[in-house]
Structure 1
Amino acid sequence: MVRVLMCGSVASSGGVSTHTKNLMENLSVDANKILLYNYYTNKAGSKNTNFEKVYRRTFGLFFQILSNRKKYEIIHDQTSGGIFSFISAITASIASKIVGKKLIVTFHHSKTEEFVEKYKPFFNFVLKNIDTMILVSNKQKEFISKTFPKYSNKLVVIPNGYDSAFFFPRDASECRSALSIPMDKKVIFNISNLIDIKGHKYLIEAIGNIAKTRSDIYCIIAGKGYLLETLEQQIKDSKLEDYIKLVGWIPDNEIPIYINTSDFFVLPSLGEGNPIVMFEAIGCGKPFIGTKVGGVPEIIASEDYGLLCEPASSEELEKTIMSALNKNWDTLKIKEYAESFTWKNIAKTTKSIYEQTS
Structure 2
Amino acid sequence: MTISFLTTSFPRYEGDYAGNFILKIACGIAKLGAQVEIVAPDTQDASPLSLPPEISLTRFKYFFPRSAQKVAYGTGIANRLKQKRWSLFQIPFLFLAFIIATLRSSRKSQVLHAFWSLAGIVSVVVSLIKPKPIVITLWGSDIFFLKTPILSTIFKSILERADVIICENQHFKNQLTKLSNNNIFVIPNGIDLEQFKPRDKLSARATLKLPENKLIILSTGSLTKNKGHKYLIHALSDLLQTRDDIHLCIVGSGEEHESLAYEIKELNLDRKIDLVGSVSNEMIATWLNAADIFVLPSLHEGTPNSLLEAMATGLPSVASATGGIPEIIDDGSNGFLVTPANSKEIKAKLSQLIESSELRDRLGTQARLKLESDFGSWEVQAKQLHGIYQELLNKTELPHNSMTNSMDASFKVLTVYYKHKPGGFCKRLQMKINAYLEQGWKVHYVAVELFPYKHPNLIPHILPTPFKNHNTLLFWIYFFTLAPWFTAWVAYREKVQLISIFSLAYACLCAPAKWITGSPILTFIRTMKEKREFTFGNYTIIYRLKRLLDKFGIAISDSLVANSESIKTELTELGETKVPIIYNNITESKLDRPEQRKEILKEFGLQEESFLVVTTGLLIARKNIQCLIRAFAKVDSNKAVLLIIGEGPLLKTLQDLVKQLGLKDRVIFTGWREDVMKILPGCDLFVFPSYLEGLSNSLLEAMACGLPCLVSDIPENAEIITPPQQRFPADQDETLSAMIDEVLHSSEKLEFLHNSTLEDRKRYIFNWEKKITAIAEEVVNRH
TM bucket normalised to smaller: 0.7 to 0.9
In structure 2, the partner of 1:229 is: 258
1:336 alignment counterpart? 369
Deviation at 1:353, TM superposition (A): 2.2
Contact 1:109–1:273 (8 Å) recurs in 2? yes
Equivalent residue, structure 2, for 1:127? 159
* Letter in structure 2 aligned against 1:10: F
What SS is found at the alignment partner of 1:277?
helix
What residue is the counterpart of 1:58 in the other structure?
95
Look up the match of 1:72: 109
Aligned partner of 2:69 among 29, 48, 63: 48
Instruction: Call closer, same or farther: CA 1:64–1:180 in 2, change over 3 Å.
Output: closer
Amino acid at match of 2:22: T
1:110 match: secondary structure: helix
- CA apart distance, 1:215: 3.6
- Residue 23, structure 1, aligned to residue 25, structure 2: yes
Evaluate the alpha carbon distance shift between residue 69 and residue 290 of structure 1 in structure 2; reply closer, same or farther with a 3 A threshold.
closer
1:96 deviation in Å? 1.0
Instruction: Give the Cα–Cα distance (whole angstroms) in 2 for the partners of residues 351 and 252 of structure 1.
Output: 26
Asked if the contact 1:172/1:262 (under 8 Å) is kept, the reply is yes
Structure 1 runs not aligned, ≥5 long: 81-85
CA distance in 1: counterparts of 2:385 and 2:300, whole angstroms: 25
CA distance in 2, matches of 1:324, 1:218: 14
Distance of 1:42 and 1:284 partners within structure 2: 34
Shift of 1:256: 0.9
> Aligned in 2, Cα 1:92/1:194: closer, same or farther, shift over 3 Å?
same
The one-letter code of the counterpart of 2:38 is L
Note closer, same or farther for the CA distance 1:136–1:53 as it changes in structure 2 (3 Å cut): farther
Residue in 2 aligned with 1:345? 380
1:304 aligned onto 2:333? yes
Deviations 1:304-337 (A, max 9, x none): 3211100111111111212232224244443233
Percent identical pairs in the alignment equals 28
Mapping of 1:236-275 within 5 angstroms? Answer: 236-275=265-304
1 CA distance for matches of 2:135 and 2:218? 36
The structural deviation recorded for 1:49 is 3.6
Q: SS of 1:285's equivalent?
A: coil
CA contact (8 A) 1:285 1:332 kept: yes
Inter-CA distance 95–21: structure 2 relative to 1 (3 Å threshold) = same
Q: CA-atom RMSD, angstroms?
A: 2.4
**Tell me, what secondary structure is at the counterpart of 2:157?**
helix
- Does the CA contact (< 8 Å) of 1:22 and 1:163 recur in 2? no
Matched, 1:104 2:135: yes
Cα distance in 2 for residues equivalent to 1:328 and 1:287 = 6
Contact 1:65/1:96 (<8 A) preserved: no
**What is the alpha-carbon distance in structure 2 between the residues aligned to residue 354 and residue 101 of structure 1?**
11
Q: Which moved more, 1:272-281 or 1:211-220?
A: 211-220
1:39 aligns to 2:41 (yes or no): yes
Q: Give, in whole Å, the separation in 1 of the partners of 2:275 and 2:95.
A: 39
Between the aligned partners of 1:182 and 1:311, the Cα distance in structure 2 is 31
Check whether the contact 2:10–2:23 (CA below 8 A) recurs between aligned residues.
yes
The one-letter amino acid of 1:48's match is Q
SS state at 1:211 partner: helix
- Which deviates further from its counterpart, 50-59 or 18-27? 50-59
Per-residue CA shift, 1:8-39, capped at 9, x if unaligned?
12134566x12311211121122221111112
Moved more, 204-213 or 307-316: 204-213
- CA shift for structure 1 position 169: 1.4
SS of alignment partner, residue 239 of structure 1: coil
Contact 1:111 1:272 in 2 (8 A): no
**What one-letter code is carried by the residue in structure 2 that aligns with 1:232?**
A
- CA deviation profile, 1:90-120 (whole Å, cap 9, x unmatched): 23113213322100111124361x3224222
2:171 equivalent among 132, 135, 139: 139
Is the contact made by 1:11 and 1:40 (CA closer than 8 Å) also made in structure 2? no
Q: Is the 8 A contact 2:140 2:323 kept in 1?
A: no
Instruction: Please name the residue that 2:2 is paired with.
Output: 3
**CA distance, structure 1, for counterparts of residue 201 and residue 173 of structure 2:** 38
The 1:336/1:191 distance shift into structure 2, 3 A limit, reads same
Larger Rg, first or second structure (1 or 2): 2
Q: In structure 1, what residue type is equivalent to 2:378?
A: W
Unaligned runs of 5+ in 2: 47-65, 72-86, 394-783
Please report how far the alpha carbon of residue 78 of structure 1 lies from its aligned counterpart in structure 2 after TM superposition. 0.8
Sort the Cα spacing of 1:42 and 1:130 in 2 relative to 1 into closer, same or farther, 3 A: farther
Asked whether the 8 Å contact 1:223–1:250 carries over to 2, the reply is yes
| Amino acid of the structure 2 residue aligned with 1:221 | I
CA distance in 2 between partners of 1:206 and 1:49 (Å): 34
> Which structure would you say has the larger RCO, counting Cα contacts within 8 Å and 6 or more residues apart?
1
| Separation of aligned partners in 1, 2:68 and 2:304 | 24
Q: 1:357 to 1:47 in 2, by over 3 A?
A: farther
Question: Counterpart of 1:156 in structure 2: which amino acid?
Answer: F
For the structure 1 residues 230 and 42, does the alpha-carbon distance in structure 2 shift closer, same or farther, using more than 3 Å as the test?
Answer: closer
CA contact (8 A) 2:37 2:106 kept: no
The 1:205/1:69 distance shift into structure 2, 3 A limit, reads closer
In structure 2, what is the Cα distance between the partners aligned to 1:283 and 1:255? 12
133, 145, 159: which one aligns with 1:115? 145
Change (3 A) 1:277 1:46: farther
Residue 321 of structure 1 is matched in structure 2 by 350
Q: In 1, distance between residues paired with 2:231 and 2:147?
A: 28
Shift of 1:213: 5.3
Aligned residues: 346
User: How far has the Cα of 1:205 moved from its partner?
Assistant: 0.7
Partner of 1:92: 123
Distance in 2 (alpha carbons) for counterparts of 1:209 and 1:111: 36
CA distance in 2, matches of 1:111, 1:103: 17
State how far apart, in whole Å, the 2-side matches of 1:75 and 1:231 are: 40
Aligned to 1:289: 318
Tell me the equivalent position of 2:238.
209
Give distance in 2, aligned partners of 1:206 and 1:95. Answer: 49
Q: Does residue 1:157 correspond to 2:190, yes or no?
A: no
Distance 2:90 2:353 in 1: 42
Structure 1 Cα separation of the partners of residues 365 and 387 of structure 2: 30
Contact kept in structure 2, 1:40 and 1:53, CA below 8 Å: no
- Identify if the C-alpha distance between structure 1 residues 294 and 47 changes in structure 2 by more than 3 Å, giving closer, same or farther: farther
TM-superposed CA distance for 1:189, in Å, is 0.7
Amino acid aligned to 2:156: N
Q: Distance in 2 between matches of 1:278 and 1:335?
A: 11
Query: Scaled by the length of structure 2, what TM-score is found?
Result: 0.42
Q: Aligned pair in 2 of structure 1 residues 350, 105: CA closer, same or farther (>3 Å)?
A: same
CA–CA separation in structure 2 for the residues paired with 1:236 and 1:352: 53
Q: Is the 8 A contact 2:215 2:291 kept in 1?
A: yes
Q: 1:234 to 1:68 in 2, by over 3 A?
A: closer
